[in-house]
Chain A
Amino acid sequence: MATIHNEIENWLAADLHGELSESEQSALHAHLVDCAACRKAHHETKTMNKILEETLAHEKPDPAFERRMLAGFRNRIPERTGVSKVLANLMRLRATQITAVAAVLLGLVQIGRMLTGENAAPLPSRENYVREGFVAQPPQAGATGADQSTSLAKSDELTRGRSQDLALNEPPPPAAPASRSELDKETAAMGLAAAKVAAATPQNLARAEQAEAKPGETPAPVQANRKLIRNATVQLEIVSFDDSVQKITALANEERGYVATTSSEKQANGKLRGTVVVKVLPENLDRFLQKVRGLGELKNQTLGTEDVTKAYLDTDARLKNAHVIEQRLVDMLKTKTGKVSDLLQVEKELGRVREDIEKMQGELKYWDSQVQFATVTVSLAEKEMEEPAAFLIKERSQLALYAPDVEKIYNDIKALASQKVQVTNAQLNRDYSGRVSATMSMLIAPEESDAVITRVKSLGRVENFQTQTERIAQGGSGMSENAKTKRDKVELNITISREEQEQAFQQTSLRIRTSSVDERAKDLRAVAEKQGGRVRSSTFSRDPNGRELANVWLRVPMKNYPTLMQSLDSLGKVENVTVQRQDRTGTQIDEANAPADISIQVYSQGNIVSHESGLLATLRRTLAQSAGAIMWSLRMIGVAIAFLAPWVIAIVGVIWITQRVVRAKR
């Protein structure tokens, strides 16, 4: 009760506002009955509440308040219409926001690329290259592995077939699966090894070939339990077949081998050709081959090694297996129990097994013999010592001509064509700058050749003339001294170029200082023309400082060169003369008519003081430079922004998303 009394105001307020629970209400009322002071307060509060309600009712917003608020809001924030509304709605979609951000990022990246001038084309990717490399390798490994495994699998199958045949009603013999699993293991190991080696396979192969091609070197040490069959073939060209066979036999004896077979054949031209098969001990094979090669001219040689270890071991195992079966069958016959038909069956089977055993034993023996001796097949052929019967003399000439009018000469030469003179090729070329050149080929009858060549030479200036004579032997018989010679048609290749293109025989450059450049340049042209020269090009320029400069390039025949040089002295002060002469050795040159190039620079001193000086000019330059510097730094800032902005945006985006996620979790 004391609490109610102390906090009577709170209780009264809550009571008036209907915020008391039922139990609280009854407690309050009970207290009010007891306490006079609180009763008074209750009374007063009730009155005041009434006044308050009445007074504040006037201040309450009127019923149209909400509408007013809405109207005011609409007034101040007009609703979007049309496209902007659609856009605004679109922008509220998460997908649109993400797309927009992505687009902005991409755009910035592009701008960055443009600013830095980075090429947009992707680099020829290393990745691709590497991938190709990898793709290329494994099939090789697979192939080699597969080859081996298939060949082994075949022998496997054989074994299996045999053991199944043998099995009949009995349990399979224990040896077969044992050997099979062994083989399987080995196969797997081989496959692995092959795969490992495959990466370097090409080099390895090459090395192996090299090793084989050098029989002088000792072969890799052969493991004692390996069964290797070595074979070699040698093709030789020798003078006498019989001599060589004798020598080979002697060599074979030396190397503790023997000649297995010899065969020979006489050819249409009376020469002998044949083969000798020699067996030598494998360890002596290389030495033997070296000796044999000394007998004549080596045309071809191969050396091969076949590893039959696997097949050998396989057959060996099967043989043992067959022996076991044989023994069992024999035991069965000995006990003689069972039906007669069964016994007959057993006997039949015994016969088959024994046949197999013999076959296998024969196989092993054959391999043993093969392994014991290496086989060398020597193919011999006698040399054909024939002499040519006649010679054909072929003459080829190259002629380079310079002419003022290429087309005219081209047509002149074409006009020379007759029965004895044949134009095989004629080509007139005009390049993009209008320069004309021609190439022609002619075949001239030997008797006419000198006259025609002289005629062609006279048409233009000969820059170069070369003749080449070749003696070609033709089939037949007889000694070279009395062989007939015959002149073939002369081949003449002509190239015609315009004189302009001719490289100058002598190049001169000089400077002339004068006060009136323009006039002197004109004089210069006049002088040149008088001396039979031609102005090839000329330029004239005047710079802001009043300096004048004229460049003139002239071409004159060598014979007029000295005169021209002398007359130049009259034009002004000649300075800086450099002369370059190009002596072409080994070619005939018409020196008097060869062109000489002269490049002349006529110049004046001009004003010493530049217009570009003084305060204003300096200011202007400074301003221009600083403007340039500012532009440059702006550009650099642009680059920096373009590079950084995507990162900043990305980081802000990530932070924003993580915040959202964290808040969502909370």
Chain B
Amino acid sequence: MDASKSEQYEAAIHGDREAFEMIIRTHSRTLFAIAYGVLQNREEAEDVVQDSLVKAWKTRWRVRDAGKFPAWLATIARHRAHDIFRKRRAVSLSNETIEATESHPADTMAIDQQLHSALAALPELHRTALTLRYFEEMDYRTIENTLGLTNGALRGILGRALASMRKQLRPALASPD
């Protein structure tokens, strides 16, 4: 990480509002990708980003190592998204019966919907890695840093994610070609 970024994080931690707003500009898309990876819902993900930023500002003094500021932001966003996710599940449980009647068999669904359900079937980490890659076109190193993964782990994760999706989507993949 270059020095100017580290300085920016340091300033933000010490309450420099301008520095923090700069971080919002550069990092909110990443946060969004993370939240979306958990929730798969744009509106909810936006709310999560918003909440996470406010919470980060209020508890910025907890960050001891300025270098870990982005990772810390990501953690906040992931936790917040999980909270929302849990609430949603509680609500959806009561609506389960209705949804069940509305669900369609897999083969009749459009390819978009199939893809979404395939995404939903992935483990959360895999999904988040995918969103970070496909939303922000981040390189593997940055994604690994953001998600707190060890070097080289991402290649396996993305490989497995793509493979399992491919298996689920095989019928649909075959048809358009």
Contact = CB atoms under 8 A, between A and B. Distances in A.
A92 B14 contact: yes
Contacts of A66: 24-25, 28-29
Given A14-B158, A19-B140, A47-B173, A65 B29 contact: yes
Given A19-B155, A48-B166, A69 B24 contact: yes
Contacts of B130: 52, 56
A66 B54 CA distance: 14
A44 interface: yes
Interface stretch (A73-81, A124-132, A449-457): A73-81
A144 B140 CA distance: 90
A41 B64 CA distance: 46
B131 interface: yes
Interface residues of B, number: 47
Interface residues of A, number: 37
Given A44-B170, A56-B131, A92 B15 contact: yes
Nearest to A17: B133
B166 A69 contact: no
Interface stretch (B42-50, B80-88, B99-107): B42-50
Contact of A70 (B25, B133, B139, B163): B25
B162 A19 contact: no
A7 interface: yes
A321 B140 CA distance: 105
Contacts of B16: 92
Contacts of A88: 15
B115 interface: yes
Contacts of A60: 135
A369 interface: no
A61 B32 contact: yes
B112 interface: yes
Given A53-B134, A77-B57, A65 B32 contact: yes
Nearest to B160: A9
Given A11-B159, A19-B139, A45-B162, A72 B50 contact: yes
A345 B116 CA distance: 134
B155 A56 contact: no
B36 interface: yes
A191 B53 CA distance: 82
Contacts of B158: 10, 13-14, 17
A339 interface: no
Contacts of A16: 162
Nearest to B164: A9
B2 interface: no
Contacts of A79: 17
B109 to A, nearest CB: 13
A55 interface: yes
Contact of B162 (A49, A68, A70, A92): A49
B169 interface: yes
29 contacts: A9-B160, A10-B156, A11-B159, A13-B159, A14-B155, A16-B162, A17-B133, A17-B140, A19-B140, A41-B166, A45-B163, A48-B173, A52-B130, A55-B111, A56-B131, A56-B135, A61-B32, A61-B46, A65-B32, A69-B28, A70-B24, A73-B24, A73-B54, A73-B57, A77-B57, A79-B17, A88-B15, A92-B16, A663-B65
The 10 closest A-B pairs by CB, nearest first: A10-B159, A9-B159, A9-B163, A13-B159, A69-B28, A56-B134, A13-B158, A72-B50, A13-B162, A10-B155
Interface of A: 7, 9-14, 16-17, 19, 41, 44-45, 47-49, 51-53, 55-56, 59-61, 65-66, 68-70, 72-73, 76-77, 79, 88, 92, 663
